[in-house]
Amino acid sequence: MHIAEGFLPPAHAIAWSVASAPFIVQGVRSLSREVREHPESTLLLGASGAFTFVLSALKIPSVTGSCSHPTGTGLGAILFRPPVMAVLGTITLLFQALLLAHGGLTTLGANAFSMAIVGPWAGYAVYRLLKRYDVPLMVSVFFAAFVADLSTYCVTSVQLALAFPDPSSGFLGALGKFGSIFAFTQVPLAVSEGLLTVLVMRLLVQSSKGELTRLGVLVKKTATGARGKTETEAKA
Partner 1 sequence: MLPIDAAAHSSRWRRRHPVDKAVLGLGLTVLAISLPPWPGAALVLVAALVTLLGPAGVAPRKLWRAYRVPLGFCVTGALPLLFQLGGPEGFLTLAEGGPERAGGLLLRTSAASLGVLLFAFTTPLSDLLPRLVRAGVPAPVVDVALVTYRMSFLLLDSMSRIRQAQAARLGHTTRAAAWRSLAGLGATAFVRAFDRAARLQTGLAGRGYDGTLRVLVPDVPVSRRFVAASGTFLAALAALTLVLERLLP
Q: Which of residues 18, 100, 139, 223 is near partner 1 by CB under 8 A?
A: 100
Q: What share of the chain is helix, strand, coil (3-state, %, to 5)?
A: 70, 5, 25
Residues that bind partner 1 (rule: CB under 8 A) add up to a total of: 73
Question: What is d(CA 233, CA 219) in angstroms, rounded to the nearest whole number?
Answer: 6
When asked if residue 1 is in the footprint of partner 1 (CB under 8 A), the reply is yes
Q: Bridge-partner residues for 218, per DSSP?
A: 234
Q: Which of residues 86, 91, 116, 117 is near partner 1 by CB under 8 A?
A: 91
* Cβ distance to partner 1 smaller for residue 92 or 151: 92
Within residues 18-37, the interface with partner 1 by CB under 8 A covers 28, 31-32, 35-36
What H or E segment, with its residue span, contains residue 189? helix 170-207
* Cβ distance to partner 1 smaller for residue 167 or 228: 167
When asked if residue 183 is in the footprint of partner 1 (CB under 8 A), the reply is no
Q: Which stretch binds partner 1 (CB under 8 A): 41-49, 116-124, 143-151, 227-235?
A: 41-49
* Cβ distance to partner 1 smaller for residue 177 or 235: 177
Question: What region does 168 belong to: left with phi over 0, alpha with psi -120 to 50, or beta?
Answer: alpha
Note every long-range contact of 186-190, with CB atoms under 8 Å and residues 24 or more positions apart, other chains counting: 186/149, 186/150, 186/153, 187/150, 188/62, 188/63, 188/64, 189/60, 189/62, 189/68, 189/149, 190/145, 190/146, 190/149, 190/150, 190/153
Smallest gap, in angstroms, from Cβ of residue 116 to partner 1? 13
Smallest gap, in angstroms, from Cβ of residue 134 to partner 1? 25
Within residues 107-146, the interface with partner 1 by CB under 8 A covers none
* Cβ distance to partner 1 smaller for residue 172 or 223: 172
Torsion of Cα atoms, 40 then 44 then 46 then 49, to 10°: -160
Q: Which stretch binds partner 1 (CB under 8 A): 3-11, 120-128, 139-147, 224-232?
A: 3-11
